[in-house]
Amino acid sequence: MTAQNLKALFTPITIKGMEIKNRVVMAPLQLSLGFRSQRTKAFYLERASGGTGAITLAATAVDILASEEAWGKSGALDAFLKGLSSLVADIHTAGARVGIQLWHGFNFPAGLSGVEGELIAPSPTGDTRELKAAEIKVIVGKFATAAANAKGAGLDFVNIHGAHAYLLHRFFSPLDNQRSDKYVGSVEKRMTFALECLKAVRKAVGEDYPLFWRLSSEEGVVGGITLDNSIKLAKALEKAGIDVIDVSYGRFARQIMPSKKMPMGTYVSQAEAIKKAVNVPVIAVGRINSPQLAAEIVSQNKADLVALGRQLITDPYWVKKAQEGRFSDIVLCDSCNRNCVRSIPENRKRTGSEDLSLCKVNERAGREWLM
């Protein structure tokens, strides 16, 4: 690795007036840490102190950020937003930018527990019913309100989750969308829901607020979304006002979290293909564990930023060590997908213990508040 390659990784980038001090973004990790506990703050602050340029908080249902009814009691949403603002301020103090990922799952309406309401989908499948056109408009409005509330809480950006078989993904997938209205048919029609959400969010947050979109470049399933489909979607998102394309892959956990059997930089080629088609910054993800690989991706213009998830669980000081040239001190994630695939509540239920690590290598992970 040359000094110039490494320099590229630590060159700031500005997106809609938001400067990120380097090209490393912490990927959203669904660990069920919450946003207001000591455990949560300690976990994220260690990664911010470790030099990460931007942190994406865990994927959060739009209802939680948009609807008082989802909480079931008066004042709960305001209390949540106040706690979220406190976390944001702490992360800023530690030197990182911070955003949140917004998603919609398969419940309408969705309550805080995530189980209330009817199971819905673009088209009926087994225990789900087809989402009605009027309900689609409601969901579009919730994305907009959630994003506006995120901005109001001080978050630097919003990442809209259009990947991994959640609702936005399923509307775009020919495997899931067999409707008979304006949302189905050609690739362009299948992206209608996504574009409606983006336009509503953009209107709610204003032209100067950074918006990211995470997409699955391919589904990896016969008859599913192809890379060519996603390139068309990325171009349409850019035209509609997205600021960053966050390129992931697949619809199943084994694809989203590639194992140690998969090559390093598993999905970088997907990001590279999309980057060639758009003019907005692109994020690459997928087993980007070494600084050498990360620097190569950015310096060779395969992507503008790299997203690290499990690697930052394993070594929260990865960025700082890399910038200081302390490569031998970096603890590399081996993609074992053991502790980190279970959330804190799942581990608590499984073992009856609060004092658990999220990583077999890093015993502090998820326990920073205790150590």
Q: What percentage of the chain exceeds 70 in pLDDT? A: 94
Phi, psi of 15, rounded to the nearest 5 degrees: -125, 110
Whole-prediction pTM? 0.94
Least confident interval from 113-117, 188-192, 247-251, 365-369: 113-117
Low-confidence winner among 11-20, 63-72, 89-98, 134-143 (lowest mean pLDDT): 63-72
CATH for 194: 3.20.20.70
Using pLDDT thresholds of 50, 70 and 90, give the confidence band for residue 369. Answer: confident
Q: Provide the pLDDT confidence category of residue 231 given band limits of 50, 70 and 90.
A: very high
CA dist 232 and 148 (Å) reads: 27
The H-or-E segment that residue 284 falls in is: strand 282-284
Euclidean distance between CA atoms 362 and 331, whole angstroms: 9
Rounded Cα–Cα distance for residues 319 and 300 (Å): 19
- Nearby residues of 351 by Cβ (< 8 Å), 6 or more positions away: none
The per-residue pLDDT for 294 is 97
Q: What is the pLDDT of residue 257?
A: 87
pLDDT in tens, 100-114: 999 998 888 766 655
Query: Which of 82-91, 247-256, 274-283 has the least mean pLDDT?
Result: 247-256
Q: What's the pLDDT score for residue 122?
A: 96
Mean pLDDT of 257-263: 89
Confidence (pLDDT) at 252: 80
Instruction: Supply the pLDDT for residue 105.
Output: 86
Closest CA to 247 of 236, 258, 256: 256
At 71, the pLDDT band (50, 70, 90 cuts) reads confident
Q: What is the pLDDT of residue 281?
A: 98
Q: Catalytic residue numbers? A: 166
Domain count of the fold of the chain: 1
Instruction: Tell me what pLDDT residue 353 has.
Output: 60
Q: Which amino acid is at 272?
A: E
CA angle 135/140/142 to nearest 5° reads 95
CA torsion, points 267, 269, 270, 274, in degrees to nearest 10? 140
218 closest CA partner among 258, 177, 253, 249 = 249
Owning domain of residue 147: 3-370
Report residue 349's pLDDT band, with 50, 70 and 90 as the boundaries: low
Q: Tokens in use for 49? A: 């102190």
Kindly report the backbone phi and psi dihedral angles of residue 44, in degrees, each rounded to the nearest multiple of 5, phi listed first: -70, -35
29-38, 148-157, 229-238, range with the lowest pLDDT: 29-38
pLDDT for res 354: 60
Q: Which of 169, 183, 62 is nearest to 111 (CA)?
A: 62
What is the pLDDT, as a whole number, of residue 112? 62
User: Which tokens sit at 124?
Assistant: 């009926």
Average pLDDT, the chain: 92
- Residue among 122, 118, 100, 101 nearest 109 (CA): 118
DSSP state of 218: -
